[in-house]
Amino acid sequence: MNSRFWALLLALGTLTLVLSAWNPLPEPPNVLGLTNAEQGIWAGINLERTKAGLSALKFDARLSLAARGHAKDMADRNFFDHHSGKPGFDTPGDRIHQAGSFEQAWAENIAFLEGEPDSRIVATFVTGWMNSPGHFKNIMTPSFTHTGVGVFKSSDGRVYAVQEFSTREFETTFDNISGDVRFNDLELRGVNKPNLELAVFSGQNYLGMIPQDSTGRFAMKIPFAINTKFDVGWREKGSSKNFLLAKSVQTPNVTKTGRLEAKNYPGTPPFSLEANVLVQTSFSQTLTIKFSNATKTLLVIEIINGAEVRHAVQNNQVQLTCPALSPKRTVQIAHGNSITTEFIWNCASGKLEPSFEK
């Protein structure tokens, strides 16, 4: 039977992702998991790039996972297209994202052949793409830095090949941890005279006024700190005089829940004071983003209910935390003066979800 070769390309694109149900693919294989055909196509394409004076494309396991999944899907369902019709996996951008990779720009070459001996599969795919102007353009795009290859043979002998190309200005890895976080507070409560006002201090630091109702009853929580002295002072309402320190609370060297002794300064305090250490447990998500090979300054921006929170990257990483009951938030990564990556962080599930391109 005569061999036949078909090829279809998707030219350079930006990662436009459709929000959909999150169905993450399994963990990607490492480079040693490539088949001989996949390894051969990767090597053959890089040979052509280096002959043209371009840098070789770095192998990326997640891009390979996306490519391999699409090759298998086309073989299993007997279709040939960049669009799979599967929600969340329809476009190359969808599949790349679902494999756990966030790209600034991408392109995809696909092809299939039949009737070709296994010994000729690699050469046929590489030659076919190199002889096609559109596929050749993708292969020779100087800005592409990474690639992944997937090859799959259908039950009727057709062989499908997919190659993903991407531009990546830096490497990122994501570690997401779910867990219980303990929050410790020092609660101050008591009764004051209605015509007086109270404030709390720690050393020279003014921590704020203590709110009280019309009868003088008050309660205030402040973050707990070990081995720290907290002072409570009073003055007449509306006075501009300094507060007169009347009671103090010394926290222990360890975090222990329960009541702490409140000591009086000389004189008779005009209020009562009870101090308690409270512990509160809250389920939360912690996302650590690690960076490498960045050539410009990196900045991570959280957008929470329309407000921006900016995080400077220190020691090539940044850590974000959100309680599970918090709303979803957008996370952007800026490389130099440009936003190169954007995704949605789901605080309830901890999953990273697609974001519409701006």
Residue 16 pLDDT class (50, 70, 90 cuts) = very low
Q: Does residue 10 register a pLDDT over 70?
A: no
Token representation of residue 300: 């991570």
Distance CA(112)–CA(8), nearest Å, equals 9
Return the pLDDT at 219: 93
Torsion sign (Cα): 85, 90, 92, 98: negative
Q: Does residue 38 register a pLDDT over 60?
A: yes
- Runs of H (alpha helix) within 18-120: 36-51, 61-77, 92-98
Instruction: Write the single-letter amino acid at 19.
Output: L
Return the pLDDT at 182: 62
For 158-182, the pLDDT digits (tens) are 899 999 999 888 888 888 887 665 6
Q: Does residue 67 register a pLDDT over 90?
A: yes
Residue 280 pLDDT class (50, 70, 90 cuts) = low
Minimum mean pLDDT range among 104-113, 134-143, 179-188, 192-201: 179-188
Distance CA(160)–CA(75), nearest Å, equals 7
Distance CA(296)–CA(298), nearest Å, equals 6
Residue 204 pLDDT class (50, 70, 90 cuts) = confident
Asked if residues 231 and 248 have their Cβ atoms less than 8 Å apart, the reply is yes
Return the pLDDT at 183: 62
Minimum mean pLDDT range among 133-142, 250-259, 263-272, 291-300: 250-259
DSSP 324: T
Q: Does residue 14 register a pLDDT over 60?
A: no
Return the pLDDT at 209: 93
Q: What is the pTM of this model?
A: 0.57
Minimum mean pLDDT range among 5-19, 79-93, 97-111: 5-19
Distance CA(152)–CA(40), nearest Å, equals 14
- Residue identified by tokens 């570690």 is 175
φ, ψ for residue 318, nearest 5 deg? -145, 145
Distance CA(107)–CA(93), nearest Å, equals 9
A 10 A CB-CB count for 214 gives 6
Distance CA(85)–CA(106), nearest Å, equals 19
Return the pLDDT at 281: 66
